Structure formats: structure tokens, C-alpha cells
Amino acid sequence: MKILAVDDDPLSLAMLEAAAREAGFGDVTPAASAEEAREIVLASTDLFGCFLVDIQMPGADGFDFCRMLRRMPGYASTPVIMVTSLSSQPALLKAFAAGATDYVTKPCDPKALAARVLKAARQEDVEARMRAAAASVVALKAELAQTRRVGFDAPVTLREVENGIDYLALETYLQRLDRGDLAGASLFTFRIDRIETFFARCHPALYNDMLADVAEALLEALLGHRPLVSYAGSGVFAAVVSGGHTLDLAEVELAVNQAAEELWLDYGAGEGMGIRLTAGAPAHLGGETTGRGAVSALRVAIDRLQPQPHRATPAALAARWSMGVFGSFLRAI
């Protein structure tokens, strides 16, 4: 796996390279700035499999680089590990909103960082297999059939949605929050009513656009509470908000549905979809909650919104599997 390490401090850059080699990856390319890293990515004929990126750099910072990377072909979901001296919750939130998949604060143990790189490598391997499988399906089936086979239960990354992130990235974000930040956070879940009908009737592109639009409605309803929103599959959205203890669930559900109604989503030819969402019971996290406890609470909240036939969906099972595979690495941190 090719790794690109980006840091303007030579000593930190050497540490990033050493951590990658500790993890067993010798193909590490250094860059001293976000601009240099961008040029390296554009000039490379092979895709990089992981990025280790500092945040505070002259010129474009790590947030800028991550956002730029996510818009480039082939890098929509490539692991990006932010390695930074910034430890505040706002910086953590901004990193994941920009597209980061993990976050490590300096000074860090190279062995612990190596474990994170190994985790990223496994994640990239799984996604590479999925991309290869999808490519084979494209070659064998018509566009409509193969695109829809992404799966009703599968999480979908919310492309082009500000503060919309991948589901596994949402779990990682929760794990990186300290108890103080978790004490002020709440988890909200929403499920699109009649989602099975939309999935059956919509062309895949329209279905994905509908999910993105609903995510925008959720963000609008939760505006002012620094939300991160993710789509977990089976019509269920999950949101992490700050200060959610003050929110009234009925008012939030009403605001979400009003925002969704204003979207005027339709199948075409003027036939409206009539999008409605049902809110699940929120989970208000306390000062005794750990990152792992927050992830467990999130999974329980999502599972409770699933209709009985869809309990323990592939999306939920995938999340549990991923945590099982990477658990040994996380415990080493």
C-alpha cells in the first residue's frame, strides 16, 4: 500500500514515515505542505492507499487538503488519518466533517500510530475488494440493476453533503471524543417512512439523490447544534449533535419533516414522493460515557428503528464486524 505523509515539520514528517514502516509499509512518500501533496497525488499514476496528514500547515491546511482529496477521482473513501497537536472537540469535528477517517493527537507513540495505519490498510483492502466486485458487476449487468445492488441495507456515503460523513467514520469520531465532549453530545436517529417503496421505485441515481436531500433536511433542522449526519442503511440516518439535551424530540421531528416537505421530491412527471421521517428515541450521553459506550448506544438506537424483518441488517453487521476486526488495534491505543 502506498502512503502519503504530509507535515511541514521535518521531525514530525520523519515520525509519520517511521510509523508507516513500523506497520510494514515501506512505500511512503513525504510532502512538506498540502500544496506539495496535491501535486504529488495529481502526478501519481497509482492511487495512494492511505494518507497521514498534519492539520496546521502554512497555506492550505490539513482540512483543505482532505476536502480537496475527497473531490478527486479514486479518493472518495481512501483512509485519511489526521495527525495533529490540536486536541479540541471543534478541531475533531471539523476534521471528520472534511472527510477524515481517523484522528491522532501529537505527541503520539509511533507503535500506536502504526496500529492505526494497519487498521486503515485493512479498511482500504475491504473497500478495494468491494470496488473490484462492483466493477465486475458493472461489466456483467445493466446500469440500473447493478447500481441498485449496492444494497437496501448498506450504508451510503453522503457525497457533496456538508457535515455528511461515512457511517464507520461517524463511529470513529465518537470513539475519539473524550468524556467531557461526550457529556454534551446526543445521538438522534431518523427513518424514512416507506423507504422500501422508494428503493423499489427509484432509479439508483434518484434514490441516492433523495438520501442526500433528506440528509440536508436533517442538517437544516439541527442547525446550531454542530451536527454530523450519516446514513446507516435501511432508510435510517444517524446524527451526533452538541448540546442535544436541550432539544425537544417532537419539535425536531416536526422541523425535519417540514424541511423534507419543502424539498418537493418527486419521481418525475410531477408525482411527489411525500417524504416523511420518524424519529427514534434520542440517546443523551453523560459524563460517564466512553467512546465505546457512545458507539454501542448509537448501534442500539439504529437497531431500534429497524422494522422487525430488518433487524441485524448487513449495515449493522458490517459495523459490528469491522469493530471486531479492528478491535485488537484499538485496544492497543
The SS3 assignment for 53 reads strand
pLDDT class for 331, splitting at 50, 70, 90? very low
Q: Tell me, yes or no, whether 155 and 235 share the same domain.
A: yes
Expressed in percent and rounded to 5, the helix, strand and coil fractions of the chain are 50, 15, 30
The whole domain housing 82 covers 3-123
Q: Tell me, yes or no, whether 319 and 201 share the same domain.
A: yes
Q: Tell me, yes or no, whether 312 and 166 share the same domain.
A: yes
Percent of the chain's residues with pLDDT above 90: 36
The cell 479514486 sits on which residue?
74
Split into its structural domains, the chain has a count of 2
Q: Tell me, yes or no, whether 61 and 155 share the same domain.
A: no
Percent of the chain's residues with pLDDT above 70: 83
Out of 107, 123, 139, a domain closes at 123
Whether residue 24 is contained in a domain is answered as: yes
Would you say residue 233 has pLDDT above 70?
yes
Mean residue pLDDT of the chain comes to: 82
Q: Tell me, yes or no, whether 227 and 288 share the same domain.
A: yes
Would you say residue 148 has pLDDT above 50?
no
- Which pLDDT score is estimated for 76? 86
User: Which range, 179-183, 306-310, 314-318, 320-324, has the best average confidence (pLDDT)?
Assistant: 179-183
Whether residue 146 is contained in a domain is answered as: no
Q: CB burial class (10 A; 0-12, 13-18, 19+) of residue 319?
A: buried
For residue 118, report the phi and psi dihedrals to the nearest 5 degrees: -60, -40
Query: Strands, E, within the chain: which ranges?
Result: 3-6, 28-31, 50-53, 80-84, 102-105, 185-192, 228-233, 236-242, 266-268, 271-272, 277-279, 283-284
Q: Tell me, yes or no, whether 113 and 162 share the same domain.
A: no
